[in-house]
Amino acid sequence: MSAWDDIKDTLTTAGRDVSQKAKEVSEIAKLKLDIRSKEDFVEKQYIALGAAYYAAHKNDTDSAKAEQFRIISEALSEIDRMKKQVLILKGAAECPKCGAKMPEDAAFCSSCGTKMDDLFEEE
């Protein structure tokens, strides 16, 4: 084998190694993406399962999960309260009696307690 053949052979082998390595790296990257996407999927299933379980058992006070149900219920109430607060701040409606802002569909003024329906009927 000539020196040139030797060099050619070495270069060919090196080229093969590089392309093989690149192929492996891209395969690993693809697998990692697939793993992450499957993990996300499982995570979403867990959440859906948990929400369904909560909905079905939230009133089971003797459940071993009663404490968790309680803190979830509390958090949901808090979310509800904050959503109402956003509506109030947006000023969807105003009490004609005291001027307090509240959600448009509020039955009573949250500030003075005036029944909103009555006020609208009077007008």
Cβ neighbours, 10 Å, residue 116: 19
Q: Which is nearer to Zn ion, 88 or 100 (CB)?
A: 100
- Does residue 18 bind Zn ion (CB under 5 A)? no
- Does residue 112 bind Zn ion (CB under 5 A)? yes
Q: Provide the minimum distance between the beta carbon of 79 and Zn ion in the complex, in angstroms, as a whole number.
A: 25
Q: Provide the minimum distance between the beta carbon of 51 and Zn ion in the complex, in angstroms, as a whole number.
A: 37
CA atoms within 13 A on the CB side of 21: 6
Q: Please give the single-letter amino acid code of residue 54.
A: Y
Q: Scanning the structure block, which residue is given the tokens 């109402």?
A: 84
**Segment contacting Zn ion by CB under 5 A, of 23-31, 40-48, 81-89, 101-109:** 101-109
In the set 93, 102, 109, 116, which binds Zn ion (CB under 5 A)?
Answer: 109
Q: Scanning the structure block, which residue is given the tokens 């307690």?
A: 113
